[in-house]
A and B are shown apart, each in its own frame.
Chain A
Amino acid sequence: MEIRQVVGSLVCTHRIAGLGHWDLRLLQDTKGKHYVATDPVDARPGDWVFVVSGSAARYAMGDAGILTDLTIGGIIDRWEEERAAAVEPTSATSATTARAA
């Protein structure tokens, strides 16, 4: 699963029946690249979410008949604070490297 930020909704009236009437959200990764995902959890713009891709995205909709390859699996409770604290494991690795050297 990947972590993405919701930047808006996508209105798409003319669509295949296989997509149902599910909400579509416009997502963005940290590099600014855009993605579209089906949204069963009602995420809002600004929310950080994790997304399921591939065939698992169809199961994530609760119905493998929904023809999506990207589904929002859940809204992340906290992200910015945790990202700031995320350096620990990698610094442990570099400490090992320093010891080895």
Chain B
Amino acid sequence: MSLPDKPFSLKGKRQPLGDLIVPKLLFFAALISIFTTVGIVLTLLLETINFFRVVPFFEFLTDTKWTPLFKPQHFGILPLLSGTLLVTIGASIVALPIGLASAIYLSEYAPDRARRIIKPILEVLAGVPTIVYGYFALTFVTPVIRIFLPDTGIFNALSASIVVGIMIIPMVSSLSEDAMGSVPKSLRDGAYALGATRFEVALKVVLPAALSGIVASFVLALSRAIGETMIVTIAAGATPKLTANPLESIQTMTAYIVQVSLGDTPYGSIEYLTIFAVGMTLFVITLLMNIIAQWITRRFKEEYK
């Protein structure tokens, strides 16, 4: 849009009040989002600095125990990180192939009618509150797992991973489908003219052309899985430990923050400060992933004309 600041001359006339005040009000509204980010960073940073006045940074990164709520206190983030990582890996094993498969089906195979039915259903799946998914993990998925693997704990990482994975399927599939949808039809038609099957077109033409968008959708979905809170709070338990066994109870960074805020930790104590240190870690990781995803989309975007 390239309009002049004043669409016509108002020389000699008073500018209407709306044109004087409104832009300033709107500018203030836009500033709120900047203030929000500044607020988040300041809040986390100030209390995290207070935390590191008591706990050495090195201990935070290397201690293998996380027991701030009882004696002897240990402040090693590794158990919470490994719990988060375990759930995220589990969720990606579920969500990435399934999400990509549905994106390919919707974009390359599905007839119009099927697409019109399936897409709204996926939208509903994306709109289910995480508390409902948590309930589903605890009361349906875990009992089913325990039929096949009786040693599984009531709270376990596997059930949480599967359900977090299901939660992010719609995100992977809709963002990937958008990426594939922007691959021009002429490229596909060229391949069809050479006698390629639909699968060959999808695999050898559409996927490579849409790769940056697909990878970005993966990164964004994983970032969402890292920040997810209620499913892991309800279904994965509250046992921070370094383990790769998904059948055990673990604790993620987000679930820990919820645990502390549900208890009666005194304001200003070192236990209270832990939520800011953990929150800061969570914020930095998800922020990095979001920046990476945006960078990939911009850097590797294929331009078709």
Q: Are A and B genuine complex partners?
A: no
* Chain B positions near chain A (C-beta within 8 angstroms): none
Binding site for B on A (CB under 8 A): none
